Structures are given as structure tokens and as C-alpha cells.
Amino acid sequence: MKIMKFGGTSVGKPERMHQVAQLITKDESEPRIVVLSALSGTTNSLVAIGDAMAAGQRDQAKEAIDKLEAHYQSFIKELVKTDKAYAKAKSIVSEHFEFLNIILKISFSEALSKDILAQGELLSTKLFSVYLEEKGIDHMLLPALEFMTIDAQDEPQLSTIKVKLKAILQQNSNKKLFITQGYICRNSRGEVDNLKRGGSDYTASLVAAAANASVCEIWTDIDGMHNNDPRIVKKTLPIEQLSFEEAAELAYFGAKILHPTCIWPAQQMKVPVKLLNTMQPEALGTTITQEAGSVGVKAVAAKDGIIVINIKSSRMLLAYGFLRKIFEVFEKYRTSIDMITTSEVAVSVTIDHGGNLTSIVKELEPFGTITVEDNNTIISVVGNEIAQTKDMLSKLFETLTPIPVRMVSYGGSKHNVSMLVPSSYKTQTLQLLNKGLFGLE
């Protein structure tokens, strides 16, 4: 079994969808499960529709629904050719927009907002299926809501997913091509839910693990993971091979191409993940496996919006149990810490969202003097055995001489050095590193 996931831009235009059909039928030596995102822009619109409804702005919601429907109406005109397929596509679009219009009339709830968000992936897969049918490509739609489940903590239940998916696949063992929705799932109450924004990658990795796939291909519009952010530096190079650990660090610390949560399921079942480019299907892309392939620095990534919380206390001196008390506050507010540095009298930690910042600060106050600094960026340097690479640190700090580095995290893992810099220095930092570590402009 092979998993092939296509993101929003890969299905965002009728001609792109046509190309996806070609890509998934090129090699038929293995059965395939194709995971699709919503058409690009759709989930953003659905979020806006939900927000407008939640705020009681029905007119605004209605306007956004109509605009989105018009987009789909013109999309299907170019998607299919025959009257029969067009009629089918049209009735699918009508059905889903009728549903949105019904929701508009009933009182809004959290559960309903999830139903709204699910329409994007339901539409993309159903419309794609109509196109495949028109082209005479045998396939089956696999409803993700029948096998993708999350528990009460919103964590996917891989073992349940495995059992459910296996049963469906076994019942349809004559089929060689399956199309399913990324992102959407059912929660522990049986309601429609989702795997959070960008979650289609997560779906793909979970399905790959559940089906013990030979490969999990993530098709986007760039030729794999690059050594640096192409939006910020002039020249970047794609990385051929990464270990799961390296990829996880890069995804978590800012590489946008892959959703950070999506590494563990594939890693657990040792399913190689390939990042491929729909616009350049022949390009090598990036392969993520158990093996790192080489030693040394591979890439840098940046994560913005980082908040530093400093806790300064003379009572920390020679005390034990101090860190535990601090960590408990973060645990209580389910806020994860990215970086931490300590001295004998102070601790600095970073978090990536300020959702519970006021409460956290309030609860930390009994432990010392608290100060908060926002607008920081974590710059992460990632590579296999990077910590053991000769002259690595001297090179790094020499390169960053002009940068006021605020925190450094080194030695936590063997393949990562992270630095915190004020966000205003992010561009300069990435540019200096591109030159200093990779010899690129």
C-alpha cells in the first residue's frame, strides 16, 4: 500500500486536480490511498464563516458562503466535460452549500463549527471522485469519518484507526485506488472534528502507519524540504535525506512544508515519508527515513511569535523542587515549553502562544520576579550528530557575531542547536547562517 497526500494548492485548480489524477495512476503496481486537503483557500473561508456565525454576523456569513459557492460552481465547470459528470458535481456542490445555509439558520455551537470546517475536504474528495469516474478510473471513496478517530484529549487513536481501516480495506480488497479526506475525523463524542489546521499531513502519516504502507508521499508545490527559508534568503537547496528526528525538529521549528505532528506515526511504523513536488514530479524531493544519511548541519528553520518568561528568585539558590513547581504551572495550562535556560537564580522559558499568558504569569508570581518578553524568534540549526560536529559551535557563534542572541539551547538532542533572537533580527540571522554554514547567498 502506498499513501499519496495532496495539499490545497495541488487540488486548488481544475487543471491541478487533473494532474493529480495522472500522478496517482502513473504507477499502479501497488494499491494506493490518496489523501486530499480542501481546495486552497477553502478552509480559511470556512473558518471565517464559522467565526462570523459565532459572532452573530449572519449577513457576513451568508455573503462568505455565497462567495465560496460561486467559486465551486466555476471550479466544476472546468473540472469535468460530460453533462452527466457536471450534473453530479453540481448536485454535490449544492448539497454541501445547502448544508451550510441550514447551519446558518440554527443556533451556533462549537460542534457545528467543526461540521462547517469539514465541508472543504468532503467537497474536494467527492468532486475529485466525480472527475475520476468521468475518466473511467476505477476507485473508491473512503470516508475518513468512518475510521479516523481522536480521543478525549484530541489525540488520534492509532490502534483504533488501524482496526477500522483494515476492516474497510479488507471488505474492498478488489479495489486498488482509494480516495479519502485529510484533516477530518470523529472525536470521542462521535462528533465531526478535525486534526487542527494543516492536519492533512497528519492524516496521511496516520493512514500510512495504520496500513503499514511502503511509503507516505506528501505532494506539495515545492521540491522538498530546503536548507533555509526560500522566502528570506536568495539561494536554498533541497535536502535529499533526513532522519525522522531531524525532520521533526525542522517541522516543529518552522519549516512550513510539513506539519510537525505528522512525523511520529510514520516513524513508529518506520514508513518512509517523501516530500514531492506536483509541479516537478520528477524532482528527487526529500526522503525522511530512520537513517539520516549524512552527518553535520542540514538546515536552519525559524519559528516566530515566541514569548520568553523569566522567573528570577534568590530562593532558587540551592533549592530543589523549584523547577517542578514552575513546570506544573505550564502543565496546568496545557502550554508546552520550547526552550529553557537556567542560572542559579533565574529560569527563562519560551512558549509559542500567549493564550494563557496572564494566568500563567499570575501563578508564577509567588516564585519570584516575573518578566515577559514577546516578539522573539527561535532559530533552529538541525543536522545529524550536529552537537559532535567539529568546530560547529565556534563557526555558529562567529557567524552570528552581529546578532544579540538571547538564549541558546544545546545538547538537548544530538541533532539540534536552537537560539532565541529578537524577531527583528530573524532575516539577518537566517541570511548570515546561509552564508556561514552553507556557503550560500
Question: 198, 285, 368, 383: which one contacts ligand ASP (CB under 6 A)?
Answer: 198
**Ranges within 198-217 binding Mg ion (CB under 5 A):** 198
Cell of residue 433, nine digits: 547562517
Closest CA to 99 of 13, 192, 37, 11: 192
In the complex with ligand ASP, the residue whose CB is nearer, 14 or 182, is 182
Residue 7 binds Mg ion (CB under 5 A): yes
Tell me the residue type at 93: V
DSSP string spanning 62-86?
Answer: HHHHHHHHHHHHHHHHHH--SHHHH
> What torsion, rounded to 10 degrees, do the Cα atoms 233, 237, 240, 246 define?
-20
Minimum CB separation of residue 131 from Mg ion in Å reads: 21
Work out what residue 147 binds among ligand ASP, Mg ion, none; the CB cut-off runs from 5 to 8 Å by kind. Answer: none
Q: Judged by CB under 6 A, which of 19, 43, 129, 181 binds ligand ASP?
A: 43
Q: Closest CB to Mg ion among 36 and 316?
A: 36
Judged by CB, which is closer to Mg ion: 7, or 368?
7
In sequence order, which residues have a C-beta less than 8 Å from that of residue 98 and are 6 or more positions away? Answer: none
Residue 413 DSSP one-character state: S
**Closest separation between CB of residue 307 and Mg ion, Å?**
25
Task: List helix spans (H) across 253-344.
Answer: 263-268, 322-332
Instruction: Single out the residue of 120, 156, 260, 383 in contact with ligand ASP (rule: CB under 6 A).
Output: 120
In whole angstroms, give the CA distance from residue 437 to residue 235: 13
CB of 47 to ligand ASP, least distance (A): 9
- Could you give the string, one character per residue 400-429, with x where binding to ligand ASP holds by CB under 6 A and - elsewhere? ------------------------------
Helices 58-79 and 110-134, packing angle to 10 deg: 10
Distance CA 410, CA 386 (A): 10
In this structure, are residues 377 and 423 in contact, taking their beta carbons and an 8 Å threshold?
A: yes
Q: What is the footprint of Mg ion within residues 379-408 (CB under 5 A)?
A: none
Q: Which does 14 bind (CB under 5 to 8 A by kind): ligand ASP, Mg ion, none?
A: none
Strand partners, 418: 380, 409
Establish if 183 lies at the interface with ligand ASP (CB under 6 A).
Answer: yes
Task: Select the residue interacting with ligand ASP from 14, 156, 199, 285 (CB under 6 A).
Answer: 199
User: Is residue 38 within the footprint of ligand ASP (CB under 6 A)?
Assistant: yes
Q: Which stretch binds ligand ASP (CB under 6 A): 196-204, 345-353, 376-384, 412-420?
A: 196-204
Smaller CB separation from ligand ASP, 224 or 383: 224
Report the residue from 9, 10, 37, 228 that binds ligand ASP according to the rule CB under 6 A.
Answer: 37
- Considering the rule CB under 6 A, would residue 200 count as an interface residue with ligand ASP? yes
DSSP summary character for residue 353: -
- Phi, psi for residue 229 in degrees, rounded to 5: -80, 110
Query: Of how many residues is the chain composed?
Result: 441
Q: What are the backbone dihedrals phi and psi of residue 97, each rounded to the nearest 5 degrees, phi first? A: -80, -30
Cell 504569569, residue? 361
What is the contact surface with Mg ion in residues (CB under 5 A)? 7, 198
What is the contact surface with ligand ASP in residues (CB under 6 A)? 7-8, 37-38, 43, 120, 182-183, 197-200
